[in-house]
Amino acid sequence: MHTISLDDLAGEHLAAARQAASGRSARTVHGGHEHSLRQTLLALAAGRGLDEHESPGEATLQVLRGRVRLATRQDAWEGAAGDYVVIPSERHSLTAIDDSAVLLTVAVRPAAAG
């Protein structure tokens, strides 16, 4: 069984995000070409984020640290550590209000029937 501390990983990547010119750092926690589920830890320095982009498909966002804002053209959501949201299937952006770490979960393709 492979285990990982999301809290430790969030701390490491927040430190990297603060130093990065982009203000962000990420690591795929689970997934890849052979998996239908991809989970990525994304750390963002305060005020930084991801510009508006297409939805990756079925996806959720769990806030591990800090506060973030997920916005579409018609709606916005602010979440803090412990909050969870289903990402809308439309163009959206993500901005860190504070130094933040989130866990992005995306269903890449339908899982094969067992």
Block mean pLDDT (10 aa), the chain, length 114: 93 97 95 85 96 86 98 95 94 97 86 51
**What does the pLDDT read at residue 35?**
83
Tell me the β-bridge partners of 59.
106
Burial class (CB in 10 A: 0-12, 13-18, 19+), 57: exposed
**What does the pLDDT read at residue 81?**
97
